[in-house]
A and B are shown apart, each in its own frame.
Chain A
Amino acid sequence: MIKLENISFDHCIKCTVCTVYCPVARVTHLYPGPKQSGPDTERLRIKSPELLDISLKYCSNCKRCEIACPSDVKIADIIQSAKWKYSKRSLKLSRIRDFLLSRTDLMGGVATWFSPIVNFFTGLGIVKFFLNTFLKIPKQRRFPKYAQGTFERWFKKNSNEQQGYDKKVLYFHGCYVNYNYHQQGKDVITVMNALGYGVEMTDEKCCGVPMIANGFLKKATKNAKFNIKSLGKAVSNSEKRIIASSSSCALAMKHEYPNLLELDNSPIADRVDYITRFIFDEFEKGNIPEMAPVNLRAAYHSPCHLERMGGVMYTIEVLRKIPGLDLKLLHSECCGISGTYGFKSEYYTIAQDVGNELFDRIDAVKPEIVVTDCETCKWQIEMSTSYEVTHPISLLAKAIRGANKSGD
């Protein structure tokens, strides 16, 4: 049966504008574009699932089609759910890879115990060769380094002074901060403290984005339910807001939970935000901490998922408040990696071809640093260009620490 509330594919007027803005269709003829993969074939799939088109798998779920659509069709959601609803799972080695790539909690939990060894091995040519041969992970791909221990553990030891603040925020750190890069979490604390907020954390699991992208919808739903319950409970008796420093985590909790996983996220829906929006609101109230100039020429790249959420404006306005920062806005382009997409051999070339346009534009700006909100964009840009990439919060923290130093 067709669910009547879910027939947005019927609003498609076949104008093909989405396909114009699809970064994957731009670089490969193997993908027919979102119009055909989404609304066109959805009606056929509903009738008979064997009409599933294998080209669906090329969709990287960047969601640029939804931004482009003049008729408000949820094209990427249609494709994502079709991809997994109708496809038969075959047991291939690449499914093991997909499992490993999508279980960021599992992999991170183990790797952070042995991070020097893991980092050493993932950098070795021979290991890359085996990953490439057996797991179809491209040998050119550089792996993010794992941190020693988790951010959660660090926070437990160092969170005492957070009690001293009257106002609090609940921080959803996400897997990247927890397992790979603690400094970003520390930067969040610096910024929040400077704004007069103490930081709290509660039990959280991976937001589910990599599982959705790899077709583990059941596991994604389980994690989503856990997060809604855990975060919801932590804020239920207060006005506390929830902030995420990863744009894709925020998108998942706000949009993917209700739209794609069809879960009731009302306990957190109005509370959770990507962090720059929270900071922007404070800035608007006049709560602007003292900042020392950060004299850098910075190129800002807006991640696809932040665009879809409508959060880019906040990041830009927050960055503009940093004194001395020479901010250049890059034309909105997909970097190509789309989470785990660029970690798979069969899509590696597509991912790099998609990203080339962005890399050229970065070169044209000749920045001293590239700024972006998304960790996978960061990996992609750092691997594919010679530029260092940082998070907006880290720049802000730098400016705040600079001011504290000069004030001492």
Chain B
Amino acid sequence: MNYDCIIIGGGISGLTAGIKCVHEGLSCAIISSGMSALHFSSGSIDMLGYTDDGDVVYEPHKYIDEFIDSHKNHPYAKCGRDIVAESLQFFQEQVANRNVQFFHNNSSNHFHVTALGTLKPTYLSQRSVFNEKVRNGFASKPSIAIINFEGFRDFHPELAASNLKKNQLFNDFEIFARTIQLSEFNNTDKNPHEFRSIDIARILEKDKNIERIASQVKEAAGNALFAGIPALLGIHDSERVHRKLEELTGLIIYEIPTLPPSILGMRIDDALKTIFADEGGVFIAGDKVISGEIDNNTLTHIHTENYGKSQLSAQHYILSTGSFFSGGMVSEFDSIHEPVFGLQLDYPKGRSNWYSQNFFDRKSHPFLHYGVDTDNNLRPRDKNGETIQNLYCTGAILANYDPIREGSGGGVAISTAYFAARQIIEKCKE
């Protein structure tokens, strides 16, 4: 089977690259083993949130020049500022066609609220998390109700409310926590569901339920102008559910990301996969690439668990298998390796050097910036140190950046994907 491009890994990075490729008429397959880290994400896209000193970055498009100058090996430096901006614009436009609207704060960062009630700077958020109304409403210091659904154990409104109140931006706001009951929960002995995010999302996305729930939310919110609720407003048609809930309650409804599975993230996953398939891309789910043949600095074909000996080949390949959590890198007791091609990774000896003692260390953990080092075109070196000419690495598998400390995970995933795809498209058109 011969494609113009095979992408290994079907997360946000692989899908973005795939969409760009099929958009330009390339034949493209994505091989994905299990659902991606989008299912564990906040659903907002960070670009650059913090400086090296840990200060909040307000204008990432301005700050990026200075940042690239001082981080020559950073994936952003390899892409260049223009690609970073263009790729985020491309991403935003693509998913907008699939009912996922992203908003930015006039090209500046904005804060989004986490499940713990802390604030994080981010660049793009979905309508239910950031839009003009949210920004303007916030300026009037409204009172805020944080509302949970009784029985939902992956969100704690009291915790979120009290942490939010501790933040100096919210010091003089009235913030209170409330809980409402879903009648679907009444028969709990008959209902063995655990009431995780997906179960409640399915209740909220049904038309027949929305009016009843809206009146409950309105009553619980009392005199508040904002109602913060866990992000459970459905997957496929969340914009409509959100609008309807705002209309019926007269409140600004604000979605707060929950513990996994992340409904906000799954909206992006669903949108990207649908676009990719609609434009003729082949998405192979539930299979794992186990190895590849590299001949004369060129990746000739790959083997997967299901396809076995049959050869899958392409002119170009993208490796977007993610970091440790997604299986892009594997850590043994005293070594770290990249399991598909055995690419070179740079990390210090001694396991205790890989992490910080403090789990919530603001400087993050060292292992988060381990990964595959590449040339300026995102191409990695093989075991012998030779650059592989037709393989590109994108997203969390890359070295030399730290998604947590910099607040750059989504931006790096999208911009490196876009950069790799553009190079592949150019070569295919030659």
Q: Which residues of A contact B (CB under 8 A)?
A: 15-17, 19-21, 25-26, 29-33, 36, 53, 55, 66-72, 270, 277, 280-281, 284, 307-314, 316-317, 329, 331-332
Could you tell me if A329 and B277 are in contact, using CB atoms closer than 8 angstroms?
Answer: yes
With CB as the reference atom, state the residue of chain A lying closest to B304: A310
> B280-310 CB contact bits vs A (8 Å, 1 = yes)?
0010111110000000000000001111111
B307 contact from A31, A55, A71, A310, Cβ within 8 A:
A310
Cross-chain pairs A/B with CB under 8 angstroms, 28 sampled = A15-B40, A17-B260, A19-B261, A25-B193, A29-B191, A29-B192, A32-B193, A55-B192, A66-B286, A68-B34, A69-B35, A70-B34, A70-B35, A70-B39, A70-B326, A71-B34, A72-B33, A270-B308, A270-B309, A277-B310, A310-B306, A313-B1, A313-B284, A314-B1, A317-B1, A329-B277, A331-B277, A332-B285
Could you tell me if B274 and A20 are in contact, using CB atoms closer than 8 angstroms?
Answer: no
User: In the assembled complex, how far is the CB of residue B256 from the closest CB belonging to chain A, in whole angstroms?
Assistant: 18
Top 7 A-B pairs, shortest CB-CB distance: A310-B306, A67-B286, A70-B34, A32-B192, A310-B287, A20-B198, A16-B196
Chain B neighbourhood of A32, CB < 8 A: 192-194
B124 at the interface (CB under 8 A from A): no
Name 19 extra pairs, CB < 8 A, besides A67-B285, A70-B327, A312-B284.
A15-B39, A15-B40, A16-B197, A17-B39, A20-B198, A29-B190, A32-B194, A53-B192, A67-B34, A67-B286, A68-B34, A70-B33, A281-B310, A310-B287, A310-B304, A310-B307, A314-B1, A316-B282, A331-B274
B29 at the interface (CB under 8 A from A): yes
User: In the assembled complex, how far is the CB of residue B316 from the closest CB belonging to chain A, in whole angstroms?
Assistant: 18
User: In the assembled complex, how far is the CB of residue A267 from the closest CB belonging to chain B, in whole angstroms?
Assistant: 16
8 Å CB contacts to A: which residues of B24-61? 29, 33-36, 39-40
A313 to B6, CA, bound (A): 13
User: In the assembled complex, how far is the CB of residue A358 from the closest CB belonging to chain B, in whole angstroms?
Assistant: 15
B266 contact from A20, A69, A280, A284, Cβ within 8 A:
A20
Could you tell me if B198 and A16 are in contact, using CB atoms closer than 8 angstroms?
Answer: yes
Chain B neighbourhood of A317, CB < 8 A: 1
A321 to B27, CA, bound (A): 15
A36 to B196, CA, bound (A): 11
Chain B neighbourhood of A20, CB < 8 A: 35, 39, 198, 261, 266
B202 at the interface (CB under 8 A from A): yes
Residue of B35, B190, B304, B307 contacting most chain A CB atoms (<10 Å): B35
Chain A neighbourhood of B39, CB < 8 A: 15, 17, 20, 70
Q: Which residues of B contact A (CB under 8 A)?
A: 1-2, 29, 33-36, 39-40, 184, 190-194, 196-199, 202, 260-261, 266, 274, 277, 282, 284-288, 304-310, 326-327
A53 to B36, CA, bound (A): 30
Chain A neighbourhood of B260, CB < 8 A: 15-17
A157 to B310, CA, bound (A): 35
User: In the assembled complex, how far is the CB of residue B372 from the closest CB belonging to chain A, in whole angstroms?
Assistant: 20
Chain A neighbourhood of B36, CB < 8 A: 70
With CB as the reference atom, state the residue of chain A lying closest to B32: A67
Q: Given the known A-B contacts A16-B260, A20-B261, A70-B35, are A308 and B286 also in contact in the complex, defined by CB atoms under 8 Å? A: yes
Q: Given the known A-B contacts A16-B260, A29-B193, A281-B310, are A72 and B34 also in contact in the complex, defined by CB atoms under 8 Å? A: yes
Chain B neighbourhood of A311, CB < 8 A: 306
A309 to B184, CA, bound (A): 37
A329 to B279, CA, bound (A): 10
Chain A neighbourhood of B202, CB < 8 A: 26
With CB as the reference atom, state the residue of chain A lying closest to B327: A70
A270 to B309, CA, bound (A): 9
With CB as the reference atom, state the residue of chain B lying closest to A40: B194
Could you tell me if B277 and A17 are in contact, using CB atoms closer than 8 angstroms?
Answer: no
A281 to B326, CA, bound (A): 31
User: In the assembled complex, how far is the CB of residue A215 from the closest CB belonging to chain B, in whole angstroms?
Assistant: 21
A36 to B198, CA, bound (A): 14
Residue of A20, A30, A33, A66 contacting most chain B CB atoms (<10 Å): A20
Could you tell me if A15 and B261 are in contact, using CB atoms closer than 8 angstroms?
Answer: yes
Chain B neighbourhood of A331, CB < 8 A: 274, 277
User: In the assembled complex, how far is the CB of residue A366 from the closest CB belonging to chain B, in whole angstroms?
Assistant: 16
With CB as the reference atom, state the residue of chain B lying closest to A71: B34
A330 to B275, CA, bound (A): 13
A331 to B273, CA, bound (A): 10
Chain A neighbourhood of B34, CB < 8 A: 17, 67-72
Chain B neighbourhood of A310, CB < 8 A: 284, 286-287, 304-307
With CB as the reference atom, state the residue of chain A lying closest to B306: A310
Chain A neighbourhood of B35, CB < 8 A: 17, 20-21, 68-70
A133 to B33, CA, bound (A): 44
Chain B neighbourhood of A66, CB < 8 A: 286
User: In the assembled complex, how far is the CB of residue A184 from the closest CB belonging to chain B, in whole angstroms?
Assistant: 24
A26 to B2, CA, bound (A): 37
User: In the assembled complex, how far is the CB of residue A42 from the closest CB belonging to chain B, in whole angstroms?
Assistant: 16
A307 to B277, CA, bound (A): 15
Chain A neighbourhood of B274, CB < 8 A: 331
With CB as the reference atom, state the residue of chain B lying closest to A67: B286
A66 to B190, CA, bound (A): 27
Chain B neighbourhood of A31, CB < 8 A: 192
Chain A neighbourhood of B288, CB < 8 A: 72
A30 to B310, CA, bound (A): 42
A371 to B199, CA, bound (A): 32
Chain A neighbourhood of B286, CB < 8 A: 66-68, 307-308, 310
User: In the assembled complex, how far is the CB of residue B196 from the closest CB belonging to chain A, in whole angstroms?
Assistant: 5
Chain A neighbourhood of B304, CB < 8 A: 310
Residue of A17, A32, A314 contacting most chain B CB atoms (<10 Å): A17
Chain B neighbourhood of A55, CB < 8 A: 192
Chain A neighbourhood of B197, CB < 8 A: 16
A33 to B261, CA, bound (A): 14
User: In the assembled complex, how far is the CB of residue B111 from the closest CB belonging to chain A, in whole angstroms?
Assistant: 27
A307 to B287, CA, bound (A): 9
With CB as the reference atom, state the residue of chain B lying closest to A66: B286
Could you tell me if A19 and B198 are in contact, using CB atoms closer than 8 angstroms?
Answer: yes
User: In the assembled complex, how far is the CB of residue A114 from the closest CB belonging to chain B, in whole angstroms?
Assistant: 42
A67 to B32, CA, bound (A): 9
A382 to B376, CA, bound (A): 55
User: In the assembled complex, how far is the CB of residue A390 from the closest CB belonging to chain B, in whole angstroms?
Assistant: 22
Q: Given the known A-B contacts A32-B193, A33-B193, A67-B286, are A309 and B306 also in contact in the complex, defined by CB atoms under 8 Å? A: yes
Q: Given the known A-B contacts A310-B286, A312-B284, A331-B277, are A17 and B261 also in contact in the complex, defined by CB atoms under 8 Å? A: yes
Chain B neighbourhood of A281, CB < 8 A: 310
Chain A neighbourhood of B196, CB < 8 A: 16, 19
A332 to B274, CA, bound (A): 10
A16 to B307, CA, bound (A): 27
Chain A neighbourhood of B29, CB < 8 A: 313
User: In the assembled complex, how far is the CB of residue B342 from the closest CB belonging to chain A, in whole angstroms?
Assistant: 20
Q: Given the known A-B contacts A55-B192, A67-B286, are A280 and B198 also in contact in the complex, defined by CB atoms under 8 Å? A: no
A36 contact from B184, B190, B194, B285, Cβ within 8 A:
B194
User: In the assembled complex, how far is the CB of residue B397 from the closest CB belonging to chain A, in whole angstroms?
Assistant: 16
A71 to B193, CA, bound (A): 22
